[in-house]
Chain A
Amino acid sequence: MTIRIVTDSVCDIPKATSEAFGITVVPAYVNIGDESYLDGVDLSRRQFYEGLPHYSTAPTTAAPAPGAFTEVYDRLAAEGAGQILSIHVSSSLSGILNAARLGSEATDSVEVQLFDSQQLTMGLGLLAITAAEGAIAGQTMNEIVATLNKRVERTYVIGLLDTLEYLRRSGRVNWATFGLGTLLHIKPLLRVHKSEVTMLEKVRTSKRALIRFLELAGELGPLENIALLHTHVSQQCIQEFQQQTRFLVPEGIEPLIVELTPALGAHLGPNGLGIACITRNNIT
Chain B
Amino acid sequence: MVVKQESVIHKSSSLSTTDKWRTCDGNQLRKLTQAALTELDNKHKQVNDLNVFPVPDGDTGTNMLLTMRSAYKRIQDGQETHVGKVANELSQGALMGARGNSGVILSQIWRGLATSLKEIEAFNANDLANALREASNTAYKGVMRPVEGTILTVIREAAEEAEDATIKSRDLRFLLARVVERCQQALERTPDMLPVLKQAGVVDAGGKGLLVILEGMLRYVDGEMSLQALPSEEITISAQARAAPAEGLDFPYDVQFILMGEDLDVMAIRTDIDAMGDSTVVVGDERTIKVHVHVKDPGIPLSYGIVQGRIDDVVVENMQMQMEAIIGRAVSATPAIYQLDPELELGQIGVVAVAAGVGLAEIFRSLGAAGIVNGGQSNNPSTEEIFEIIEQMPVNNVIILPNNKNIILAAEAAGKISNKNVVVVPSRTAPQGISALLALNNKDDLEKAVSEMNIACACVASGEIAVATRSVVLEGVNVAEGQIIGVVNGRLHAAGDNIELVLQQVLDEMNIESRELLTLYYGHDISKSEAEEVAARIEDNYTHLEVEVLPGGQAIYQYILGAE
Which A positions have Cβ atoms within 8 angstroms of B? 29, 31, 34, 36, 57, 60-63, 65-68, 91, 95, 98-99, 101-102, 106, 168-171, 174-175, 177-186, 201-208
Beyond A65-B96, A171-B56, A181-B366: 16 further Cβ-contacts under 8 Å?
A62-B63, A63-B99, A63-B100, A65-B97, A65-B99, A65-B104, A170-B55, A175-B342, A177-B54, A183-B366, A184-B366, A184-B434, A184-B548, A202-B438, A203-B438, A205-B546
Q: What 1/0 flags go to B344-388 for Cβ under 8 Å of A? A: 000000000000000000110111100000000000000000000
Among B63, B144, B247, B548, point to the contact of A98 (Cβ < 8 A): B144
CA distance A91 to B70 in the complex (A): 25
Interface residues of B in 48-63 (CB under 8 A from A): 53-59, 62-63
Q: In the complex, what residue of chain A is closest to B360 when comparing beta carbons?
A: A183
B397 CB, nearest partner CB in chain A, Å: 18
Which B positions have Cβ atoms within 8 angstroms of A? 53-59, 62-63, 66, 70, 92, 95-101, 103-104, 107-108, 142-144, 247, 341-343, 362-363, 365-368, 434-435, 438-439, 441, 516-517, 519, 546, 548, 550, 564
Q: Is the contact region of chain B dominated by helix, strand, or loop, or is it mixed? A: mixed
A74 CB, nearest partner CB in chain B, Å: 13
Q: Can you list 21 A-B contacts (CB < 8 A)?
A: A31-B99, A36-B66, A60-B58, A60-B59, A60-B100, A62-B58, A62-B63, A63-B100, A65-B97, A65-B98, A65-B103, A102-B104, A174-B342, A178-B341, A178-B342, A183-B362, A183-B366, A184-B550, A202-B438, A206-B516, A208-B564
B363/A184 in contact, CB under 8 A: yes
Among A61, A182, A185, point to the contact of B58 (Cβ < 8 A): A61
Across-interface contacts of B367 in A (CB, < 8 A): 180, 184, 202
CA distance A205 to B546 in the complex (A): 9
CA distance A203 to B439 in the complex (A): 8
A262 CB, nearest partner CB in chain B, Å: 13
Q: Knowing A98-B143, A205-B516, A207-B516 are in contact, say whether A31-B58 is a contact too (CB < 8 A).
A: yes
A132 CB, nearest partner CB in chain B, Å: 26
CA distance A62 to B335 in the complex (A): 38
Among A95, A174, A182, A203, point to the contact of B343 (Cβ < 8 A): A174
Q: In the complex, what residue of chain A is closest to B144 when comparing beta carbons?
A: A98
A99/B366 in contact, CB under 8 A: no
Across-interface contacts of B548 in A (CB, < 8 A): 184-185
Among A66, A171, A204, A207, point to the contact of B53 (Cβ < 8 A): A171
A205/B564 in contact, CB under 8 A: yes
A36 CB, nearest partner CB in chain B, Å: 6
A170 CB, nearest partner CB in chain B, Å: 8
Q: Knowing A60-B57, A67-B96 are in contact, say whether A182-B104 is a contact too (CB < 8 A).
A: no
Across-interface contacts of A99 in B (CB, < 8 A): 98, 104
Q: Knowing A36-B99, A95-B101, A102-B108 are in contact, say whether A186-B438 is a contact too (CB < 8 A).
A: yes
